[in-house]
Amino acid sequence: MKTLREVYDEVYDAEDLLSPIVLRPDALSTTRYDDAARLLRNERGRLLELGGATGRLTVALAPFFDELVCTDLSESMINVGRQHVERSYPDVAAKIRMLVASAGEPLPFPDCSFDVVVASAVLEHVLFLFQAMDEAARVCRPGGCVVLTVPNLAYVKNVIDLIRGRLPITGLAGVDPLDMATIRRLGWDGHHLHYFTRSSLGALLEHVGFRPEEWTGDGRYARLRRWSTNLVGNLTVRARRTIR
The CATH number for 15's domain is: 3.40.50.150
Question: What's the mean pLDDT in 20-43?
Answer: 96
Residue 149 lies in a domain: yes
pLDDT band, very low/low/confident/very high, at 2 (cuts 50, 70, 90): low
Residue 187 lies in a domain: no
CA atoms of 235 and 197, how far apart (whole Å): 8
Query: Quick check: 96 pLDDT over 60?
Result: yes
Q: How far is CA 140 from CA 59, 78, 136, 152, 243, in A?
A: 20, 22, 6, 25, 11
Residue 194: what pLDDT? 94
Q: What is the pTM of this model?
A: 0.93
Nearest to 30 by CA among 230, 223, 232: 223
Query: Quick check: 15 pLDDT over 80?
Result: no
Q: How many domains does the chain have?
A: 1
Rounded to a whole number of angstroms, the distance between the first and last alpha carbons of the chain is: 42
Q: What's the chain's average pLDDT?
A: 92
Residue 113 lies in a domain: yes
For the stretch 44-61, pLDDT in tens is 999 999 999 999 999 999
| Least-confidence region, from 36-40, 146-150, 227-231 | 227-231
- Please enumerate in sequence order all residues whose Cβ is within 8 A of that of 221, keeping only pairs 6 or more positions apart, or say none: 28, 29
- Domain range for 9 is 4-153+195-241
Residue 166 lies in a domain: no
Residue 189 lies in a domain: no
Question: What's the mean pLDDT in 175-202?
Answer: 91
Residue 172: what pLDDT? 85
Residue 92 lies in a domain: yes
Residue 231 lies in a domain: yes
Residue-wise burial string across 82-104, b where 16 or more C-beta atoms lie within 10 A, e elsewhere: bebbeeebeebbeebbbebbbbb
Residue 34: what pLDDT? 97
Q: How does DSSP classify residue 105?
A: S
Determine what percent of the chain is predicted with pLDDT higher than 90. 77
Kindly give the pairing relationship between strand 114-120 and strand 46-49.
Answer: parallel
pLDDT band, very low/low/confident/very high, at 26 (cuts 50, 70, 90): very high
